[in-house]
Every structure is written in structure tokens, then in C-alpha cells.
Structure 1
């Protein structure tokens, strides 16, 4: 990372833009209207305080746009780190027919139980070795990846499927198919491709326990999986994730106070900006790549 302060500033620009849009929406263009809530859900209104649903109203308008924000933040990190990043990038290449067949076979075996009712456990290295033994004619294939990064210092090219920290099974299956195809192209079009999660809600990688992606990847051991700090430092250089944490913690208190006062219309409680509320990354117990 060439300039940690610029990285942090650029991260804050993305987050501020999202938060300002959300605040404008919940305060102006799409506010919570108590009378409308009572009309549409009279039973709920009779049993539960309006403030609970007012909070839910905000939450829905906050969570939905965050998926795209992760991608924008990744572009910021890649641009400041490796030199170039973009989203929704199409990669065209050639894959041997038997490799395509084996990719489909591998995904089917992971999805469906065997006759003994035991589903095969994912193992990236074993699967890729098996798939690459497939021959046959070259077939043109296109893959649109979530994030494409180029290392302008050495010409390296990298593709990422970037999903929310708790992805569903269907998303992960599609991502694995894309990543397998990218690794099987002849000649290689990218130097590597990864399945990436921007944050680990379980703290350490060895404790990551969300079951849906584990159907397709060994989330604790597969080299093709990057989670949290490993992902950000890979594309942005060492210290990128620390810059992200610092950027969020600097602007967070102002937005929280604004939400309390302007949206919820209450006085912020004592100690609402304690150290407990700060974003942090628990100490990792696995090696960075």
C-alpha cells in the first residue's frame, strides 16, 4: 500500500456516499410514516412499539445497498494497492471440453449425496487436479467476475468472486463454477482466481462456521478462499484492512449520533460510542497467504 492515508480517505468517501444516500432516503424520500404503518399492520401496531418497526425500516434500507459497497471498497483497495481494479469484468477464454464436463461432475457430486448417503467433502486441490486432467477440443467460454484486479508493477491479473460474509448456497455454487473455469482456461487468462468474503463474523478462519458455503468450499483450508484481512491485504497491500477499520471507526460516531437525533429523534444513550462499539478484527490464528 503506497499511501495509507489516501487509502483511508478513499474508503471513507465510498462509505460516506452510501450513508448520506441512506440518510436522505429515510429522512426525506422514504421516511417511516407511523400512520401508514398502523393502517397496514394494525395488529403489530397494537402489540409492538412503533420504534421497533422504525428501526426495521432503517435496517432494510441500510443492508440492501451494502452488497455493492463491498465491491466499490474492493476497487478502492485494489487501485491504491495493485494499481487497477474494476467490477463486473468479462473474461473470455478457451476450456477443453472434458474439463467442462468434469466441472459439472464435480459440482454435482458436491451437491448430491452418494448411494451411501454421504455427501463428498470439498477439497479444492484434489478437485482442480482431477478436472485439469480432462482433454478434448477447446470450447470458448466467458466468465463475468465480481472483481478484476491487475498488478501494474508486474502485470499480474486476478479475478475474485466477492460475496457477503454469510453467502447462500446457490451464490457459492455459481461462484465456484466460475472460479474453476477461470483456473482451467488454456492459455491462462488470469494468474489466479479466488472466492473472497470481505469480513469474518466468526473472528478467526478456523472458526468460520456458516454452513452454506461449506457445501462448496473447505472454508477453513482451501487456498482459493480469502476471508477478511487476507482478502484486503492481498489486493491492497499489507495494512489495507487496518485502514478500512480505521476509516469506519473515524466516521461511525458522527453517523450514529445523526441516526439517533435526526431519525429516531432520541438523545443518544450514555456510552453509545464505547470501545465495545468499534469495529475490530479479532486476532487471527491462521497464516496469511
Structure 2
């Protein structure tokens, strides 16, 4: 199911507002690059700096609000930058360490269903420990109460980060079960786009920390999950239309840096 016109209009409005807000608050880096500036021009250097700045908060400024808008059609509850919980049982903490250590040592392969049930079994064992967990970028809940918690990552995460990604996903589960051990919860990493398309996404299979089918959604897998088949294709078209519509506005904005 592709996006309807109302959805497209809302997505494009989000994009325009996000980009214009960035223009309004943007201040170019003050570091002097005399050779680059003379070779390329102040406007191009300002554009380069702007793109770099935009990349650092593209997830929160663009991907998160767009994802929430898309998810409204299929989920009862949608939220961004949500809290999974504030406490985890001692039993869960021990079990999470065991899971990560065994996967790291290649003693076991990632198995999300098995890991989830192991944490569920110990979610009420021992004292409850107060914790400050990573915020849930996108939190979704279906009408039957099933939860989907997403951690949105850049398209090229460092290999050394995989262990912490896994820990975050498991801790979210433990925090949900600390509140309700019967809850049905899924925790996943989302990669909004794939820079190596059409080659396979080898980074994740090499890392070996994630249960790929159950813990990772890349590009169309993520966007289509939120709002149905062909959402990813329609979303790219929305971005393109906004870019064409605002092209003159963008060009005029950066021309002022040549004055």
C-alpha cells in the first residue's frame, strides 16, 4: 500500500519545516580554511559545513518525525525519544552479560526469541536496580499491545559499536519486563537508508552480534514496516519534490555567504 496524498503532504510539510528551521538557526563553523575557501568559494564552503551539521541531527530532525507520521496508520501509540523504563532486575543484568559474552566469544549465535525468553524468566529475580537507559528513538504499539522499540542508527556504524547496540536492545527488553513480564516486545536497530545498494549489507553479518531477521531493518524494510509496501519509494519521491520546490530558496540562502 503506497502513501496517500494526505500522508505525502504531511511528510513534505515536515521536511520543509525541518529544513527551514535548520536555516534559521544555522551558524557556519568559524574555523578558517583559507585554501579551501579561495578554491571553492565561501558559498560552497558554507554549504559543505551545513550538510555536515545537518547529518549530525538528521535522525532527530527528519527521520524521527517522518517515521512517526508514517506509523500512525498502523499503530495505536507512537512516540519518539521515549523511555523504556527506569529499572532492571539483578537477574536481568546478569543474563544480559551472559548473552553478550557468549555471542562475543562465538560460543552461541544471536537468537532474539531465545534471548527474550531468557530475560523474561529472570525479569523479576533479585533487587530492582535503577538504570538510565538509552532513549528509544521510535516507540510503537499495536492495538493488541505488542511493542516495537527502534534505535535509529547512521548508515555506516562502526564495527566496535555492535556490542553496545546489542546491549541497548536487551536492556530495553529487561526494562519493559520489569514493569510487565508478560509484555510482548520487539527491540530493533533501524538503518534509514543503505549506502552500498545494491550490494549486500555485509557490515552486519560480519559483526555477528545481531539476529538479523529479528533485530535489524534497513532502508525499505524499515519504512515499509511502518506504513506498508512501497512506502520507501514514495518517501524518496517526497524528498525529491521538496528539494526541487526549495531549490531556489536554498541557493539564495547560500549566496549571501559570498558577499
TM-score category by the smaller chain?
0.7 to 0.9
Residues 181 and 262 (structure 1 numbering): CA distance in 2 closer, same or farther, change over 3 Å? closer
Give 2:194's match in structure 1, choosing from 191, 197, 200.
Answer: 200
The reply on whether 1:59 has 2:47 as its aligned counterpart is: no
Aligned equivalents of 1:83, 1:125: Cα separation in 2: 24
| Partner deviation per Cα, 1:97-149 (whole Å, 9 max, x = no partner) | 444213113334555xx5xxxx6685234862794496482553665422111
| Bigger Cα displacement from structure 2, 185-194 vs 119-128 | 119-128
3-state SS of paired residue (2:15): helix
Residues 214 and 222 (structure 1 numbering): CA distance in 2 closer, same or farther, change over 3 Å? farther
Whether contact under 8 Å (2:90, 2:128) holds in the other structure is: no
| Partner deviation per Cα, 1:177-225 (whole Å, 9 max, x = no partner) | 2322344525133432222112222225x7113469935325xx43221
Aligned equivalents of 1:130, 1:191: Cα separation in 2: 11
- The alpha carbon displacement at 1:234 in A equals 1.7
Whether contact under 8 Å (1:194, 1:226) holds in the other structure is: yes
Structure 1: gaps of 5 or more residues: 266-289
Aligned equivalents of 1:139, 1:175: Cα separation in 2: 25
Query: Which is higher, the Rg of structure 1 or of structure 2?
Result: 1
Normalising by the residue count of structure 2, what TM-score does the alignment of the two structures yield?
A: 0.75
Count of residues in correspondence between the two structures: 247
Aligned equivalents of 1:8, 1:139: Cα separation in 2: 48
3-state SS of paired residue (2:213): coil
Aligned equivalents of 1:211, 1:264: Cα separation in 2: 41
The reply on whether 1:11 has 2:11 as its aligned counterpart is: yes
Give the equivalent residue in structure 1 for 2:165.
175
C-alpha RMSD of matched pairs (Å): 3.7
Give the equivalent residue in structure 2 for 1:246.
237
Residues 229 and 177 (structure 1 numbering): CA distance in 2 closer, same or farther, change over 3 Å? same
Whether contact under 8 Å (1:87, 1:145) holds in the other structure is: yes
The reply on whether 1:77 has 2:70 as its aligned counterpart is: yes
Give the equivalent residue in structure 1 for 2:111.
124
Whether contact under 8 Å (1:121, 1:215) holds in the other structure is: no
Aligned equivalents of 1:159, 1:201: Cα separation in 2: 24
* Structure 1 residue runs of 4 or more that deviate by more than 6 Å after TM superposition: none
Query: Which structure carries more helix by proportion?
Result: 2
Residues 148 and 253 (structure 1 numbering): CA distance in 2 closer, same or farther, change over 3 Å? same
| Bigger Cα displacement from structure 2, 85-94 vs 10-19 | 85-94
Aligned equivalents of 2:228, 2:86: Cα separation in 1: 28
Normalising by the residue count of structure 1, what TM-score does the alignment of the two structures yield?
A: 0.68
Larger RCO: 1 or 2 (CA < 8 Å, sep 6+): 2
